[in-house]
Amino acid sequence: MATRLQQLNADELVAIIAHELGHDYVWDEYEQARQHEDDHRLQELELRCDGIAIIAMARLGVGSEHLVSALTKLARHNKRLGTPDEARYVPLEQRARFIRAMVVLTASSPGFTR
């Protein structure tokens, strides 16, 4: 069985790294929410990291669908392993809608450059 990262192509890996780097921006908030088991806040912060990833990916020229496909692959992998932290994650379909909405917002923002 391939590891989680081995399942991703290069653009999907960039997308996941961009998301994970987003956690640096919200680290203190994320840790506080995790310690208080505040799943709603953890979900908000996961979406914020997705938004940060979309901005970074646009600047790198990597399409947003790579984040959606990477998240899909990782969710499938985690489901097979029975990952217990499912409550802290936004459902995949909702997350994909958020990512696509962020793409529209950033594309129409006059201050946003690619």
pLDDT tens digit sequence for 46-102: 999 999 999 999 999 999 999 999 999 988 887 777 765 667 788 999 999 999 999
Q: What is the pLDDT of residue 12?
A: 96
**Which is more confidently placed, 53 or 108?**
53
Residue 2 covered by a domain: no
Residue 77 covered by a domain: yes
Q: How many domains does the chain have?
A: 1
Residue 114: pLDDT over 60? no
| Token pair for 3 | 């590891």
Q: Tell me which residue range forms the domain holding 62.
A: 9-108
Residue 4 covered by a domain: no
> Which tens digits make up the pLDDT trace of 4-45?
667 899 999 999 999 999 999 999 999 999 999 999 999 999
Q: What is the pLDDT of residue 1?
A: 47
Amino acid at 107: A
Beta strand spans in the chain (E): none
Residue 113 covered by a domain: no
Tell whether the torsion through CA atoms of 101, 48, 19 and 8 is positive or negative.
Answer: negative
Closest CA to 67 of 44, 97, 89: 97
Q: What is the pLDDT of residue 111?
A: 56
Asked if residues 75 and 92 have their Cβ atoms less than 8 Å apart, the reply is yes
Q: What is the pLDDT of residue 97?
A: 95
Specify the pTM: 0.86
Residue 92 covered by a domain: yes
